[in-house]
Structure 1
Amino acid sequence: MGLIFLIWLLVAAVNDALSRKCFNWIVISGALSAVFSLLMFPDSHPVSIGLLDSFFGAVAAFLVLLVFYRMKMMGAGDVKYALVLGLWVGWKLLLPIWGLSCIFAMAHGLVVRSNLKYFYAPALNWDDGTQKNNRRFIPYVTYLSMAAVIVLMLNK
């Protein structure tokens, strides 16, 4: 089940990096896979958590990121993705994943909003960081996925 989890993380990260959206099919497939893994194969779950820990992770992710969504700082796809990520990893691993993904997102925002973007890659066409047509400029699902992989590698 760990390979399915990694593929799901990869698909979500690449999709968000390219289109700045987390589609519902990604969220639904991740949620179904997580619940199926917990119920049918609890011994082969990637982080060996129980159903209650998984539920608390999902609820915590949803409630905390819902606040940011209501302040229009985050898209609904980011909130739904974090909920499913909470199902996969539980609340104990979700805390360091949140912290690391926030560091990635903050670094992204600082580079995009400053003139450093031209120093690092002058040939790329950088956005100025503003929202155009209700599109978010920070791919937070991508950073959640990257942080999840890093935290899981360091956790083993």
Structure 2
Amino acid sequence: MVGVWLIWLCATVYFDFKARRVPNWLVLSGLAFASIALSTGRQPFELLWTHALIASLAAFLFFLVFYAFKVMGAGDVKFAGVLALWVGLTPFTWIWLMASVLAGLHAALFLVSKRQPLPFVLMKLVHGPAINDPSKFVKSKQIPYAGYLALSAIAWLLLFKQTPGS
């Protein structure tokens, strides 16, 4: 199931960085696979249902506050809830902190790019789909937060987690 989880994370990175949105079908597929993993005892991080549900609800409600203040998109909130269902609350906290650092760097690059040109690769990262229409650069303030959560989750797996059987 770790492989399925990694594919789901990579798909999230792709969609969020490319289009600045996380499709509902992607969030629902993550939810479905997490539920299957939990119900069949194949949860890769040895979480119990109760811990997974508490983590998911806590993450969802926490991020919902940011959505209510229009600081975060609905896809980011839903993705965070499903991600916490996969990893649990303690790992999710580390993942969230790392994603916040990455999002902060993204915001700083956005501010710098308004004053001076950046290399094309950085411009594509900062401005996403708006890169094809320079008039939209200043208007495109969306940060791919779900993508940064997904990248941070991959980093967490590589740095800290030994999955069963590995």
TM-score using structure 1 length: 0.88
Q: Gaps spanning 5+ residues in structure 1: where?
A: none
* Gap change, CA 1:117 and 1:95, over 3 Å in 2: farther
Aligned to 1:80: 78
Which whole-Å CA distance do the structure 2 matches of 1:61 and 1:78 have between them?
11
Partners of 1:54 and 1:89 within 8 A in 2:
yes
Aligned residue for 2:36?
Answer: 36
Q: Is the counterpart of residue 130 in structure 1 residue 139 in structure 2? A: yes
Instruction: Give deviations 1:84-123, integer Å, cap 9, x for gaps.
Output: 001101111100000000000000000111148734x157
Give, in whole Å, the separation in 1 of the partners of 2:20 and 2:97. Answer: 21
SS in 1 for 2:27: helix
Aligned-partner residue type, residue 25 of structure 1: W
| Structure 1 residue ranges (4+ consecutive) displaced by more than 4 angstroms after TM superposition | 122-126
Map 1:1-156 to 2 at 5 A.
1-40=1-40, 42=41, 44-115=42-113, 118-119=117-118, 121-122=119-120, 124=123, 127=127, 128=137, 130-131=139-140, 137-156=142-161
Higher RCO (CA 8 Å, separation ≥ 6 residues): 2
Name the SS for the 1:118 alignment partner: coil
Query: Would the alpha carbon gap of residues 62 and 110 (structure 1) be closer, same or farther in structure 2, given more than 3 Å must change?
Result: same
Quick one: percent identity of the two aligned structures? Answer: 34
C-alpha distance in 2 between matches for 1:108 and 1:152: 22
Stretches of structure 2 that go unaligned for 5 or more consecutive residues are 128-136, 162-166
Q: Report the TM-score, using the length of structure 2 for normalisation.
A: 0.83
